[in-house]
Structure 1
Amino acid sequence: MPQAPTTKRVLGGEFTAPGLKKQKSMGTQLEMLPAPARETTPGRVYVFGTGDCAQLGLGEDILSRKKPANLAALNDEQIVDIAAGGLHNMALTVDGKLWSWGVNDQRTLGRSGDEWTPLPVEGLDHVTIAKVACSDSLTVALTDEGTVYTWGTFRSAEGILGHSKEKEVQDLPTIVSGLSNIVDIATGTDHVLALDHRGIVYSWGNGQQMQLGRRIVTRRMLNGLTPESVGVKGIHKVGAGSYHSFALDRNGRAYAWGLNTYGQCGNDDSHLENVPSVAPIDALSSHAILDIQGGEHHSIALTKDGKLYGFGRSDSHQLGLGYTEEPGAEDATSHKKAIRHPTLIPGLPTIKAISVGGNHTLALSHTGDVYAWGFGEMLACGNGEEEDVEKPLKLTGQQIEHCRVLKVAAGGQHSVILAVQER
């Protein structure tokens, strides 16, 4: 199992994740990560949840779906991956092109035209996209050559922050300067993480909750719009919640930073509102973590042996534990219920992938089944009821009765899955 770090971050410096040798000179290199790989197995897109802001892509007349509904507009497009943001979505084709639908107020769709139905993203004809991620008002795309494109804008507590120091809102995809050889990306509500082939993590966007891993002075908030290293090396994967961030090293050791008001950074100190810089999640140190993602105020960790651990806010059963607070526990900082210590989520088969929405979670099993739980008023759990789902519930529906699910994407008030017919 991963060992505790032997070197710690100091102001202006960096530490190396445990299990990796610190780079001492230009002649001693850290392990180089492979270029991003594109998915190759196509499926059909299904949507469910609330669609009053066009996020279902089914047209202006269909404002909600209680059960998974096929997005027929994409049936001929060979879709291999999906991403869901607060109120918009992206679908990636086998040849590396993007289709978008949903709210376009801040140009998050990367195109003009109808918001209510999927249409191609513009300005990417000359590149091949390998991965895409959606925040609330921004979209991030990673090419197979390791270049990052973004469009839309970042927001702060005061309103629109900007896309960059030079541009308030970016209409079409544009290259993020200063980044190269990127192998992974992740987005929160208004911040982005990028991991390069050397295992170095970069962050940019809104840093008001310390989600960038560095202090942003209020009068100079635009400085946060420039990507900078968070001060950790040897990372193999990144993840994000709305206002907090994650990193995993090659041994599966998990790190977090950002907003911690409900213990969503895995730190159960109820008086610690923010984790200001990269810190190991000690409560997960005995587990090898494969993926870790967050919602608005909760987090879900996936272990390499297919188990899930939840921590953070739980008043809408975001953690799927069947209860909303530890027996006898009191949250000293808020009236909202929370479970601050990473806790095993029972009742699940072996899980291979997760996607965490604002206040609900989707988990994909190795057999292609989906389990959902959390806030249910917006129908995003797909169980057909406008009530919270207390424990993981298997997703069913007439249209997916004979389907094997390939991908899951949980948005703010809706969900998207990619599936193939098995018979």
Structure 2
Amino acid sequence: MVFGFGTSTPAQASSTASPFGGFSGFSGFGQSSGSTTAGPVTFGFGSQAVSFGAPAVSSAVETKVLAELPDFTTDRIPTGDVFVHGSGECDQLGLGDAVRERQKPTLVKSLTGLSICEIAVGAMHVLCLTTGGAIYSWGCNDDGALGRASSDGSDGGPSDVEPHVVMMPQGVVVRHVSCGDGHSCALDDSRRVWLWGTYKDSNGYIGIVRKRKQEAEVLEKSAEPTLVLESCLQVASGANHTVALVDAGNSKKVFAWGSNATGQLGLQEGCGFSERLLPCSGSIANLAPREGGGCEIAGEQVVRLHLADGSVRSAASMTVEQVQQTVAQGAKELVLQLPDREVPKTEKKKLLHPQDMPLAAAATGESEVIASGVHASAECSFVTFQGGSVRGCGLNGDGQVGVGFVSMAVPQLQAVPAVAGASWLGGGLYNTAALVDGRVFTWGKAEECGLGLGAKDPPVLQPREVLGLPKVRALRSGGHHTLASTADGDLFMWGCGLTHQLANRPRDVSNPIDTNEEPADELKPYRVSSKQLQKRFVMLADGGAQHSVELAWDGAYSAPSQDGVSQDEAITPELVSEVLRYFSGRMLEEPPVAGTP
């Protein structure tokens, strides 16, 4: 089962100048990390199923009042403490083997004082980055996503259930992190992308490459960080794919790799779904009802109609009569979804190497072919362009791409006009969210959008604003929930809460008679009530499949590579011994010579 979600490393949405500016970008899915400028990589954020009586967010939400707010307008980097809650069944809470659940945000004490400036959350693992460039990880390590040998600690090695450092090659200083279901990425200060873990699809392992070269060995999984791309400005992780913005001199290119099962790489190659066009004239007579809803022609589902005025209408749930009526009103073409294709393993493995994503097909003018940012949800990719436009591709069975219609896959970039100017996009397996000038827009599966819709409502096919939220400065998604950190330091969540990932039980910690501890979903944004966070500024919150993580300002600031724990400081002799044992006595390779992807 794929839990899926996107994490992009933190993206700054505030309108004020900030060291986090220039970054947009799950590891919970929808994560991006990096800067889109050509200089050295810098730190920063870059720029309800059942409601159970949960009140809607009012149009005038009470402002969180704190004694002091972090200053994002200087070169100093605010650092924070890390809090976790939700399920720990797969070691993802980082609180030790005895703690398997937390209902409310709980401090990860072992990270206190390490100058943590960024977090990224995968399906069942977590990465934390220090201002010194060291990465700490914990959680499920079945596929090497922690960047070290899996251990319960009994053999003297670093335990999976608690934070320990990722063993990067000597001299590597990491500036941003992202992660997905079973893989992790790091972008260093030389603009190199490092990768470890694995990629999967519905048939199991696709694998991971050991080197950048096309003829390089493909492994089922690897805990050893491997260099996969250079000259990178930004990187984002979906559930089982990665997308990167690369400086190509006078232009910028987008590279993507991993699983393309639902077209998330923006390529037709490796995608199990395809479509064909039929003229309406001569085809209508062959329409037949489809089992489960909609209609078909010779077993191929009619998914949308191209109208005479150039617009597109979703037809996935239309009856035969409704399609006929639309054709009579001027529809010109039917779009049919072909049966799933079994993708050959050789084709899948080729896509483990970075592939140049076509951008020209998405162009509406000269300025719109210059990419400015990359983002990812669980099974989708999004590219922002210099003129502010947004294009998306990938899984679209619930309208996740936001193009206004339903189809199993959108294999090439298409326009998502309603969120032009977005600074961050991401989402879970069935829903997507975007941050535009402090406003949140969502679409996809109705009950996960935070719009007050339920499971019986149809999918939201185009972005709709989540009304009533205060100005949001950072937005992230888990597998089935969304997390919004506001400009006032508050935190709102919505979506699935069945493992306490929404921290909504009890709903109000200040109310002594509120003793309800049964987990519940939220159809609308819930303002998190927490004793641990009530006097803290939440800089960023991110989610996994069944847990959530918050980075809350600790009142301190740091400077890159000066105050924070560095990679070399974090690597202890005990850790080196454990890594050498895991890699059968061979040292990690030196970084390869710089070159093209």
Aligned to 2:451: 321
User: Which residues of 2 match residues 295-334 of structure 1 at below 5 A?
Assistant: 295-304=428-437, 306-314=438-446, 317-324=447-454
Which consecutive unaligned segments of at least 5 residues does structure 2 have?
1-35, 45-76, 150-157, 210-216, 271-342, 360-368, 506-517, 557-597
SS state at 2:350 partner? helix
What is the CA–CA distance in structure 1 between the aligned matches of 2:399 and 2:459, rounded to whole Å? 7
Secondary structure, counterpart of 1:399 in structure 2: coil
Which residues in structure 2 correspond to 1:136-175 (within 5 Å)? 136-164=181-209, 165-175=217-227
Q: Which residue of 1 aligns with 2:535?
A: 402
Alignment correspondent of 2:56: none
Shift of 1:360: 0.1
Contact 2:96 2:162 in 1 (8 A): yes
- Give the equivalent residue in structure 2 for 1:36: 41
Q: Is the radius of gyration larger for structure 1 or structure 2?
A: 2
- Contact kept, 8 Å, 2:481 with 2:494, in 1: the verdict is yes
Corresponding residue for residue 56 of structure 1: 93
AA aligned opposite 1:90: L
In structure 2, the residue matched to 1:17 is none
Using the alignment, how far apart are the partners of 1:121 and 1:128 within structure 2?
12
Query: More strand by proportion, 1 or 2?
Result: 1
Q: Is it true that 1:192 corresponds to 2:226 in the alignment? A: no
SS at structure 2 position matched to 1:381: coil
Which amino acid in structure 2 is aligned with residue 387 of structure 1?
A
Determine which of 362, 377, 395 is the counterpart of 1:241: 377
1:116 aligns with 2:251: no
Q: Which structure 2 residues correspond to residues 243-262 of structure 1 after superposition, within 5 A?
A: 243-262=379-398
Please tell me whether the aligned partners of residues 292 and 301 of structure 1 are also in contact (alpha carbons under 8 angstroms): yes
C-alpha deviation, 1:396, in angstroms: 2.1
Alignment root-mean-square deviation, CA:
1.8
User: CA deviation digits over 1:157-208, x for unaligned, max 9?
Assistant: 11111002532212211111xx221011111110000111343110000111
Please say which of residues 96-105 and 337-346 is displaced more in the overlay.
337-346
Match of 1:292 among 425, 430, 442: 425
Q: Is the Cα–Cα contact under 8 Å of residues 203 and 228 in structure 1 kept in the other structure?
A: yes
Secondary structure at 1:400's aligned position in 2? coil
> C-alpha displacement at 1:33, in angstroms?
4.2
Q: SS at the partner of 2:532? A: helix
Amino acid at match of 1:188: G
Whether the aligned pair in 1 keeps the contact of 2:482 and 2:495 (CA below 8 Å) is: yes
- Structure 2: distance between partners of 1:267 and 1:67: 37
For the pair 1:411 / 2:544, whether they are aligned, the reply is yes
User: In structure 2, what is the Cα distance between the partners aligned to 1:75 and 1:105?
Assistant: 27
Match of 1:353 in 2: 474
Paired amino acid for 2:486: S
After TM superposition, the structure 1 = structure 2 runs for residues 190-229 of structure 1, keeping only pairs within 5 Å, are: 190-197=240-247, 198-217=251-270, 218-219=343-344, 220-229=347-356
Deviation at 1:325, TM superposition (A): 7.0
Q: 2:245 aligns to what SS in structure 1?
A: strand
More helix by share: 2
Percentage identity across paired residues of the two chains:
31
Correspondence for 1:381: 502
SS in 1 for 2:267: coil
Check the 8 A contact 1:43/1:78 in 2, yes or no: yes
Structure 2 residue 241 is matched with structure 1 residue 183: no
Of 184-193 and 213-222, more deviation after overlay is shown by: 213-222
TM-score (normalizing by structure 2): 0.61
Q: Structure 1: where are the runs of 5+ without partners?
A: 1-30, 330-336
Instruction: Return closer, same or farther for 1:325/1:58 CA change in 2, 3 Å cut-off.
Output: closer
What corresponds to 2:110 in structure 1? Answer: 73
CA distance in 1, matches of 2:105, 2:356: 40
Q: CA deviation at 1:34?
A: 4.3
Counterpart of 1:24?
none
Distance 2:386 2:454 in 1: 33
Report the Cα offset of residue 224 of structure 1.
1.0
1:350 to 1:119, Cα distance in 2 relative to 1, 3 A: same
After superposition, give the CA deviation of every residue in 1:21-76 in whole Å (9 maximum; x if it has no partner). xxxxxxxxxx9644431133211000011111100000111111111000001002
Describe how 1:91-106 pairs up with structure 2 within 5 A: 91-106=128-143
1:365 aligns with 2:454: no
C-alpha contact (below 8 Å) 2:245/2:255 kept by paired residues:
yes
Instruction: Say if 1:48 and 1:64, in contact at 8 Å, map to a contact too.
Output: yes
In 1: Cα distance, 2:170 partner to 2:148 partner: 13
Alignment of 1:243-282 (within 5 A): 243-270=379-406, 272-282=407-417
* Distance of 1:240 and 1:313 partners within structure 2: 17
Shift of 1:280: 1.2
Supply the distance in 1 between the matched residues of 2:132 and 2:166 (Cα, whole angstroms): 14
On the 8 A contact 2:86/2:503 being kept in 1, the answer is yes
Structure 1, residues 66-91: CA drift from partner, whole Å, max 9, x if none? 11000001002111100000000000
Where 2:351 maps in the other structure, the secondary structure is helix
Distance 2:101 2:170 in 1: 33
Residue aligned with 1:200, SS: strand
**Cα contact 1:41–1:94 (8 A) shared by 2:** no
Q: Deviations over 1:75-118 (max 9, x none)?
A: 02111100000000000001011000000000100012311100
Contact 2:452 2:524 in 1 (8 A): yes
Q: CA offset at residue 124 of structure 1? A: 3.7
CA deviation vs aligned residue, 1:332-367 (integer Å, no higher than 9, x gap): xxxxx4211211101200111100111000011111
What secondary structure is seen at the aligned counterpart in 2 of 1:62?
A: coil
Amino acid at match of 2:482: T
CA 269–397 in structure 1, closer or farther in 2 if over 3 Å, else same: same
Question: 1:203 corresponds to which letter in structure 2?
Answer: A
Give the counterpart letter for 1:55 in structure 2: Q
Q: Which has the bigger relative contact order, CA under 8 A and spacing at least 6?
A: 2
Q: Report if aligned partners of 1:32, 1:199 keep a CA contact under 8 Å in 2.
A: no
